[in-house]
Structure 1
Amino acid sequence: MDFIDLKTQYRALQPAIDARMRQVLEHGQYIMGPEVAELESRLAGFTEVRHCVTVASGTEALLIALMALGVRAGDEVITTPFTFVATAEAIALLGATPVFVDVEEDTGNIDAGLIEPAITDRTRAIMPVSLYGQPADMDAVNDIAERHGIAVVEDAAQSFGATYRGRRSCNLSTIGCTSFFPSKPLGCYGDGGAIFTSDDALARAMREIRVHGQEHRYYHTRIGVGGRMDTLQCAVVLAKLDRFEREIVRRREIGARYDRHFAGRLGSVAQRPDRTSVFAQYTVFADDRARLQEALKTAGIPTAVHYPVPLHRQPAYAGRCRIQGSLDVAEHLAERVISLPMGPDLRVEDQDCVIAEVLRVLAPVAA
């Protein structure tokens, strides 16, 4: 059993993926080929934003977004410590300071009620993370940002395709950023990412930044990076887009089935009624995580922990971050979360195996 089954997905999409990649190999435009503009147009339409800018990775998306906002050394960006390191990494690479506030105990997303006390005259942006495939409380975050005249960058690396109050993730704030890493809900076969905005000036800045700050060839108006998403990876995502809506439905069905079987026995990430999740991971809370993980490993069931060490406890960020208040919830979740096999091609019999083994391990505790 695979934690995420990409092989079955490829077999289902093989004719379309092969044809798309072969087309790139035939026209030979490996950088900024026609598939790049095509993908950007389709993704912008999917999210209903004015602009989509494809980039080399989800990390690059966050970095370019912050660069376009003018974040620089001495600035602060408020975010969560309970996320992948790329969230804080993009902030630190610009010489700015990640400011960590605690998260909600039942979702792992940033606690919007804790953001405002963290704002100072150095705050340039708020970066909520849509963790495990479900958006944070973006209206609450946006309201705070608007009152203080600062931008919001949604780190939607795990939530592309999810919704919040009827709007798509990546169309919930000033800028939305996502990743097409292979294991993501919509993934390519290498690194890739995209940035979304309806602000024309920001879109122009981000397009220039991703090609070394070029306004036009060999004319550089701003500091930039080599941040383009290559044409072959865009071709893969284009092929996968045709199946994506069905995959989202399937992920939600699998998540709901897990929920039904674990109800009253094992806590899982809460699904808020005003939003949907694409279940980038199906994550539960285990008081004895090591015992559960070892039992599942023995049974041939892969698991993962997202994330075992909060960012404020990482050596690289010692002295390079600011902590606002207690981060007890993030630390508590980091000790308990464990993710189970999830994906649109997870077979019913494999899910049954996972469910049965988890309940077997829990049985002595429940007795």
Structure 2
Amino acid sequence: MNISLVDLKTQYKSIEKEAERKVNDVLSSASYIMGKDVTEFEKEFAEYIGVKHAISVGNGTDALVVALMACGIGKGDEVITTPFTFFSTAESISAVGATPVFVDVEVDTYNIDVTKIEEKITKETKAIMPVHIFGQPAKMDEINKIAKKYNLKVIEDVAQAVGSEYKDKKCGAIGDVGCFSFFPTKNLGCAGDGGMITTSNDDIATIVRALRTHGSGENGQRAYNLLNNISEDVKTSEDHDDTVYNPLKYYNYLIGFNTRLDTVQAALLRVKLPYIDEWNEKRRVNAKMYNEKLKSSSLTLPVVIGEVKSVYNMYVVQSENREEVVNQLKERGISTGIYYPVPMHLQKVYKDLGYKEGDLPVSEYLSHRTFAIPIYPELTQEQKDYIVNNIVSICR
């Protein structure tokens, strides 16, 4: 038996007819950029998360970069974040000219250790960027409390956690801004790249909308006025179609980006969004089964803190003999993934920040021991039994 870490083909089969119809509708409409499905998906996603605004962008990395810029973060600023994450988190901070300041993580939840944040705050600190890693929410009450005390922005990296909840509130609606990725392997994935920024702050939303399209047009002018404390009427064009021609797009007010969600991707995501809670619940059911069946093994299993709903984008375990276990599982046809082999503070690109081995011991410890096993909702009972039986056999 061969079991992949993620099975996108099986998921697609479950929505194939509906997806093909929606995509064909977009193709026949010839409305490929900023079409109706983009606007409708943004409305539906905002309602799902529980925020006033959802602004789609080209990918999850752009979501982080644009959100940072919209919060006024740039050269000379510092942003506190986790070293145990995908590179985009730290990269986005560097991309706007700011410096990532890494805080170690908890050994059981893999999330940022909130007890160590305050000691890293300086006069240059402007924001905290928690990552809801592997689908489990970070401890947002404590993070928001610290942020309020020091007047910091909170930018949630929700790339791996669509639908996760912290105390009955969706992640992406808890901080000032939420940033999502729709990369195909995410819980809610499109057929390429895609991202979303969520916020209930009207000013941040206006600036985000301007930055995603070259800082131009009505939103560009509004954003420019906001950033420069200017009060004036904004010229609008009512009789235009953004997919063909908008004369106002040739008037630019900010240096922005070309980062838009394709209409085809938005249409596909609209098909998938109604299923996301069902799919996430199946992931939780699979995780509960693993927790029960693997507790007799030598693996250290993931811990979920109280009052949260993890969506288990990945089910990540720990082993003192990771290489041996992973190789044996591979021989038996069970795919795994190592997340993450090198923590951010030890990446070569960040050597100038002055971190050294031993500075963030928990992240370093985990980088040698963690790996993911399949948990996608389409796993069959036969596949799950095969995974469990082989892991128990290997990890006695």
State the partner residue of 1:178.
Answer: 180
Residue correspondence of structure 1 range 256-335 to structure 2 within 5 A: 256-265=288-297, 266-320=299-353, 326-335=359-368
Match of 1:319, SS?
helix
Superposition TM-score, scaled by structure 2 size: 0.90
CA contact (8 A) 1:106 1:269 kept: yes
Deviation for aligned residue 1:215: 3.4
CA contact (8 A) 2:296 2:392 kept: no
Instruction: Spell out, residue by residue over 1:308-342, the C-alpha distance to the aligned partner (whole angstroms, 9 max, x if none).
Output: 1001111111114778x931000001110010011
Match of 2:275 among 243, 256, 262: 243
State the partner residue of 1:233.
Answer: 265
CA contact (8 A) 2:190 2:269 kept: yes
- For structure 1, the 5+ residue unaligned runs are none
CA contact (8 A) 2:140 2:174 kept: yes
CA contact (8 A) 1:99 1:321 kept: no
Instruction: Return the alpha-carbon distance in structure 2 between the equivalents of residues 132 and 11 of structure 1.
Output: 25
Instruction: Spell out, residue by residue over 1:48-81, the C-alpha distance to the aligned partner (whole angstroms, 9 max, x if none).
Output: 1000001100100000000101111111000010
State the partner residue of 1:215.
Answer: 217
Superposition TM-score, scaled by structure 1 size: 0.97
- For structure 2, the 5+ residue unaligned runs are 219-248
- Name the Cα RMSD after superposition: 1.2
Residue correspondence of structure 1 range 66-85 to structure 2 within 5 A: 66-85=68-87
State the partner residue of 1:149.
Answer: 151
Instruction: Return the alpha-carbon distance in structure 2 between the equivalents of residues 145 and 179 of structure 1.
Output: 24
Match of 1:211, SS?
coil
State the partner residue of 1:33.
Answer: 35
Match of 2:127, SS?
strand
Instruction: Spell out, residue by residue over 1:242-284, the C-alpha distance to the aligned partner (whole angstroms, 9 max, x if none).
Output: 2212101111101111111112432112011210111000110
State the partner residue of 2:8.
Answer: 6
Return 220-229 or 312-321, whichever deviates more: 312-321
Instruction: Return the alpha-carbon distance in structure 2 between the equivalents of residues 123 and 271 of structure 1.
Output: 29
| Structure possessing the higher radius of gyration over alpha carbons | 2
Is 1:88 aligned to 2:90, yes or no? yes
State the partner residue of 1:20.
Answer: 22
State the partner residue of 2:118.
Answer: 116
Amino acid at match of 2:295: A
Instruction: Return the alpha-carbon distance in structure 2 between the equivalents of residues 115 and 73 of structure 1.
Output: 21
Amino acid at match of 1:234: A
Amino acid at match of 1:135: P
Deviation for aligned residue 1:221: 2.1
Is 1:342 aligned to 2:375, yes or no? yes
Return 167-176 or 263-272, whichever deviates more: 263-272
Instruction: Return the alpha-carbon distance in structure 2 between the equivalents of residues 211 and 228 of structure 1.
Output: 7
Instruction: Return the alpha-carbon distance in structure 2 between the equivalents of residues 208 and 128 of structure 1.
Output: 25
CA contact (8 A) 2:183 2:194 kept: yes
CA contact (8 A) 1:47 1:169 kept: yes
CA contact (8 A) 1:101 1:118 kept: yes
CA contact (8 A) 2:346 2:355 kept: no
Match of 1:121, SS?
coil
Match of 1:77, SS?
strand
- Percent identity between the two aligned chains: 41
Match of 2:341, SS?
coil
Match of 1:267, SS?
coil
CA contact (8 A) 1:163 1:169 kept: yes
CA contact (8 A) 2:60 2:181 kept: yes
